[in-house]
C-alpha cells in the first residue's frame, strides 16, 4: 500500500488524511524530516502559506523536500500548498520551496468571491465535474514552458502538473470525492528513490 504523507504543520490536514484513505492509500502525518523518510509522496494542504512556509523552514523540511523533488519525489499542493511550491508569489511572499515553475497571486479573488464552491471540469478524471471549494484561493498568473495545465476554471489554469508535481488552486478534499487523490496516488506508485 502506498504511503502518502500529509504535511501536518497547519491547515486542513485531517480532510486530506481521510481522502488518501478513501483513495486506497495509507495516510501519514509529516512534521519532521524523519517522518518524510517513510513516505512515497507528500500532500501540502491548504491553510496559511506564511505560517506553513515558516514552520517548514524552521524544521528543515524545506531543504529535505527540495532534495527529494530533485529525485522525482511526488508532491501534491492545494491552495496554500500550491503557493509554497511556486517559484514566485505576488501579494506577500512566504518562504517558498520554489520547485514549480509558476507565478501565483495570493488571495487574488475579489472580496465578494473570496471563498466559493464550484464544479470544475477535470478531463483527466473523466467527464463528471469535480466539486471543489476555492477558499481565499490564489490565482496562477504565469505558467512556465514545462508546466501542463490539466484544468481551467473561467478560462484560467486551476490545476497544473510539472513532472511529478501536481498543484491546484482549489480544495479537492472537502466534497468527499476521492478522484483527485486517486490520480495523485497512481503517479506515486511509479516513483522510487535512488539506491543509497
Residue with Cβ nearer ligand GLN (71 or 116) = 116
> One symbol per residue from 15 to 54: x for binding ligand GLN (CB under 6 A), - otherwise; what is it?
-------------------------------xxxx-----
80 binds ligand GLN (CB under 6 A): yes
181 binds ligand GLN (CB under 6 A): no
- Cβ-in-10-Å burial (0-12, 13-18, 19+) of 20 comes to buried
- Interaction with ligand GLN in 98-137: which residues (CB under 6 A)? 106-107, 135-136
Positions marked catalytic: 79, 171, 173
Residue with Cβ nearer ligand GLN (2 or 181) = 181
83 binds ligand GLN (CB under 6 A): yes
Residue with Cβ nearer ligand GLN (18 or 108) = 108
Query: Could you tell me the CA-to-CA distances from 37 to 61, 168, 184 in Å, in that order?
Result: 11, 25, 19
Stretch near ligand GLN under the rule CB under 6 A, chosen from 19-27, 77-85, 147-155, 187-195 = 77-85
Closest distance to ligand GLN from the beta carbon of 11 (Å): 7
Residue with Cβ nearer ligand GLN (40 or 169) = 169
Which residues would be at the binding site for ligand GLN (CB under 6 A)?
A: 46-49, 79-80, 83, 106-107, 135-136
Amino acid at each position: 500500500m502506498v504511503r502518502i504523507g500529509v504535511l501536518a504543520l497547519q491547515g486542513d490536514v485531517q480532510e486530506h488524511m481521510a481522502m488518501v484513505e478513501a483513495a486506497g492509500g495509507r495516510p501519514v502525518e509529516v512534521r519532521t524530516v524523519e517522518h518524510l523518510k517513510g513516505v512515497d509522496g507528500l500532500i501540502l494542504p491548504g491553510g496559511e502559506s506564511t505560517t506553513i512556509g515558516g514552520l517548514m523552514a524552521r524544521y528543515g523540511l524545506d531543504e529535505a523536500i527540495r532534495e527529494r523533488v530533485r529525485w522525482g519525489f511526488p508532491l501534491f499542493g492545494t491552495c496554500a500548498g500550491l503557493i509554497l511550491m511556486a517559484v514566485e508569489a505576488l501579494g506577500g511572499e512566504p518562504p517558498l520551496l520554489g520547485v514549480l515553475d509558476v507565478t501565483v497571486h495570493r488571495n487574488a479573488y475579489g472580496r465578494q468571491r473570496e471563498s466559493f464552491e464550484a464544479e470544475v471540469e477535470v478531463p483527466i478524471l473523466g467527464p463528471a465535474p469535480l466539486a471543489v471549494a476555492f477558499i481565499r484561493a490564489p490565482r496562477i498568473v504565469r505558467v512556465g514552458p514545462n508546466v501542463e495545465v490539466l484544468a481551467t476554471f473561467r478560462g484560467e489554469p486551476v490545476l497544473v502538473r510539472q513532472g511529478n508535481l501536481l498543484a491546484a488552486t482549489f480544495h479537492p478534499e472537502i466534497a468527499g470525492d476521492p478522484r483527485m487523490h486517486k490520480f495523485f496516488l497512481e503517479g506515486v506508485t511509479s516513483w522510487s528513490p535512488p539506491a543509497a
